[in-house]
Amino acid sequence: MIEGATITCEAKNGHLPLTFDSSNVSFVFCGSFEHLLEEKDIREETKSMGFNACIEKKESYTLYSHRFTLEDLVQYAGIRQEIAGRIHQIVQLYPLTKEDYSAILQDEEISPVRRLESQYGIRLRLEKNVREFLIENAMRTRLGVRYLSSQIQQMLDEQMFEDYSKTEYELHV
């Protein structure tokens, strides 16, 4: 499929078969590979020279100071060589900052708060301490925006369980 083949999926339950030509499709492999830096750092931490000499080699852990290579993905992230050979470009993104999380929570289109408001037809209010709590935990756990979304959903679920008829909820920690 990655090579630009035409794939045909069989028909089920009276549906027509689906034919898909992947020759003009770019496949995107996404992953956080959060342990890649740590694993590379551990394996390349020291390099001995001479008798009992040790040179520290912490360059790999300097956040994004070096570009990851396909070899890094194979060696440190467990990507299979036959897949790595088909990757044409690696794009490294920086970790989200507190400001990024805050902006996401407030954004009208991508905020998990706005999504839940739309989904349930309600209004949600997050006090500043709740936003800060969520952001700090997202940073600490490195679980990202999905973490924010699941935590907000959990807080909302608890309140909706108590009183599902409300049209406005204020989330608390």
**Residue 41: band (very low, low, confident or very high) from pLDDT cuts 50, 70, 90:** low
Determine the Cα–Cα distance for residues 59 and 80; give it in Å rounded to an integer.
Answer: 25
Q: What is the pTM of this model?
A: 0.64
Distant-in-sequence contacts of 100-107, Cβ < 8 A, 24+ apart? 101/134, 101/135, 101/138, 101/139, 101/145, 101/148, 102/131, 102/135, 104/145, 104/148, 105/131, 105/134, 105/135, 105/148
Q: Give tens-digit pLDDT for 122-170.
A: 999 999 999 999 999 999 988 889 999 999 999 999 999 999 999 999 9
pLDDT in tens, 64-115: 556 788 898 888 888 889 888 888 888 888 889 999 999 999 999 999 999 9
User: Is the pLDDT higher at 56 or at 141?
Assistant: 141
For the chain, the structural domain boundaries read: 34-84, 98-171
